[in-house]
Amino acid sequence: MNFAKRVLMVSGAIAIAAIVGTILTPKALHAVATAVQVVNPAANPVPTVATDLNALSVFDVPGSCTYINFGLDCEIGSIYFVPAGKIAVIERVAGSCSSNSGELSSAAISYTGSQGLNTMFVAHGPSVANGAGGGGQFSQNLRGYAFGGAAGTSISAVFNNSAVQNGGACYVSIAGRLVNE
């Protein structure tokens, strides 16, 4: 019996507190069923963020090639394909080359940019002795924009050696993110 009285007293106290709180709350804080209309004029648009799944997609892709047929170049025709309507923001290029003679003389990444074909030459470190040949490593943080355009575009790489090769290889990794055009 005492328990039932206490439960009723607590319930009554909560009900009275709720009624008093409702009465004392200013009218401005009560829910109003009025529609809010947002105007987005062309002259001063409201900033928005893309919500599609590919709005911010990261990529970190590897590629490799070998020096063959007594050539100076080691080429990777397509390391990464930028989809149509996207821009690949290239932020890091890293890799290494080994050869049976000579040394790495240049490392370049090519892609289609806003002004046509762009080539970024990546700075590489000094050659490291490797038997009769040598090897070079490179790593560079940068910012390059490869435009996918209407049909998409490929990012490629070419590595030049200072001497004719019939062996050796280059390995590269390109990292960045995709954004909408």
At residue 34, the pLDDT reads 66
Count of the separate structural domains present in the chain: 1
Kindly list the distances between the CA atom of residue 48 and the CA atoms of 3, 42, 44, 89, 106, in Å, as whole numbers in the listed order: 58, 13, 12, 20, 42
pLDDT averaged per 10 residues in sequence order, the chain, 181 residues: 77 78 63 68 72 70 84 85 90 85 80 75 64 69 86 87 78 91 80
Residue type, 48: T
At residue 49, the pLDDT reads 62
* CATH code of residue 77: 2.60.120
At residue 66, the pLDDT reads 85
At residue 130, the pLDDT reads 52
According to DSSP, the β-strands at 153-165 and 57-66 are unpaired
The range of the structural domain enclosing residue 75 comes to 59-180
Tokens of 139: 């790593």
8 A C-beta contact, residue 63 and residue 158: no
Instruction: Round to whole Å and give the CA distance between 93 and 143.
Output: 10
Residue 47 placed within a domain: no
Cβ-proximal residues to 170 (8 Å cutoff; 6+ apart), any chain: 64, 65, 66, 74, 76, 95, 96, 97, 98, 104, 107, 157, 159
Residue 51 placed within a domain: no
At residue 9, the pLDDT reads 81
Model confidence, pTM: 0.61
Residue 88 placed within a domain: yes
Residue 24 placed within a domain: no
Residue 31 placed within a domain: no
Residue 90 placed within a domain: yes
